[in-house]
Amino acid sequence: MKWSDVSTSGACGITGILNESGTRFSGKAVVVATTTMQPRYNGLGGGYAGYGIYPEYKDYYAFHVMHYDEESKRVTEEFLSSKAKVVKDEPIPTRHVDSISNSPLLWRYFVEVPENSSPQHVSWNQDDYVVSLVMYINSETKGSFVMSSGKNMGVFKAVGFPYDVATFYRIDEYAGYMWLGHGRYPTNTPGWWGGAHPFNILGTSVIHNGEISSYGTNKRYLEQWKYKCMLRTDTEVLAYLIDLLHRKHGIPLEQTCTIMAAPFWRDIEQMSLEKRELLRAMRMVYPDALVNGPFSIVVGINYNSPTMFGLTDRIKLRPLMAARKDDTVYVASEECAIRSVCPNPDSVWAPKAGVPVVAKVMEV
């Protein structure tokens, strides 16, 4: 039976692999793990994020951009060149794959941002400036969308099954210390190139299984902070929420997860006084950052120490498994995905609802 004949609704599959020593490994591993869950997908989206893949350009922001025609490419390149220094640009290497069609123009730009990038906003830094560039391109260029914009990392995504997307983007030719993989089964949003996972802003990339029923509230909240949700998929808000809370507001990662998957009020009232007061404060200050709906996510971050974490909603309506083998940590929708590349892990466990599994690179 062909993969294209499979019609089982598995509601997406997610995979994350991180080596805590910072050792770079081939993208083949995440492709195998993600492909193992093929019955969960329907071919309307697949993608990968690799961290540590551009060591020769690690000090530059790597923009992966899809352009839908030459005119949108021209306009975007003129805009980028007027706002920053483009050190190098080139097509993203691809292979011919019969099942991947209607490809946009796929380009990558290594960008240097001036230190005084936004003098009118004294609290801004270079990361904030890059966010503003991404928001402008996605909302104003009428045909260009930024797939990723972080340093020493990149997102590769398309409409197709995960294995075909990996073949198309030549993922086997890259090496990184952290990889995310996603296969999509969209249920209430369109299957299009920009709507495939991962979703990214700066060094934060998110892959997601489930639905965000709080999307409207989260979107309106993010718009107050100048984020623009233009990619017609609910997962986009997750990447921006994590960037806002963790990077911009400086909230520790574990507390960021607690804000997004906050315990119920009835559970908070049963906790110790110290925890109760902290959780009450977080829920009152950040009510619009609470993420409702069934979800499991895997997130890659290279802000400060490169980090991967997995998180489910507060009653775990979507599956998530984790494992460790020596200094490598695995997170996936299914244990079979992990065992396909790590047959004998040292430990395997099911993370608790709303409690993140966190792994960090100690050396890069």
Given this model, what pLDDT does residue 120 score? 60
Amino acid at 16: G
What percent of the chain is predicted at pLDDT more than 90?
88
Average pLDDT, the chain: 93
The mean pLDDT of 181-194, rounded to a whole number, is 86
Given this model, what pLDDT does residue 4 score? 41
Domain-wise residue ranges, the chain: 3-262+291-360
Half-sphere exposure of 66 (CA within 13 A, CB side): 19
C-alpha span between 352 and 364 (Å, rounded): 29
pLDDT reading at 19 higher than 60: yes
The band of 118, judged by pLDDT with boundaries at 50, 70 and 90, is: low
Provide the token pair at 246.
């963790």
pLDDT reading at 105 higher than 70: yes
pLDDT reading at 312 higher than 90: yes
pLDDT reading at 103 higher than 50: yes
Q: What is the pLDDT of residues 188-236, one digit of tens each?
A: 777 889 999 999 999 999 999 999 999 999 999 999 999 999 998 999 9
Using CA of residue 243, residue 244, residue 249, residue 255, what is the dihedral sign? negative
Read off the pTM: 0.94
Given this model, what pLDDT does residue 189 score? 74
Residues annotated catalytic, as ranges: 12
C-alpha span between 51 and 309 (Å, rounded): 14
pLDDT reading at 3 higher than 50: no
pLDDT reading at 8 higher than 70: no
Given this model, what pLDDT does residue 172 score? 97
Given this model, what pLDDT does residue 10 score? 52
pLDDT reading at 129 higher than 80: yes
C-alpha span between 90 and 262 (Å, rounded): 43
- Other CB atoms within a 10 A radius of the CB of residue 29 amount to 19
Residue from 87, 56, 83, 85 nearest 152 by CA: 56
Beta carbons of 300 and 178 less than 8 angstroms apart: yes
Q: What is the pLDDT of residues 238-285, one digit of tens each?
A: 999 999 999 999 999 999 999 999 999 999 999 999 999 999 999 999
In whole angstroms, how far apart are CA 103 and each of 92, 159, 278? 12, 9, 48
CATH topology of domain 3-262+291-360: Glutamine Phosphoribosylpyrophosphate, subunit 1, domain 1 (3.60.20)
Q: What is the pLDDT of residues 319-331, one digit of tens each?
A: 999 999 999 999 9
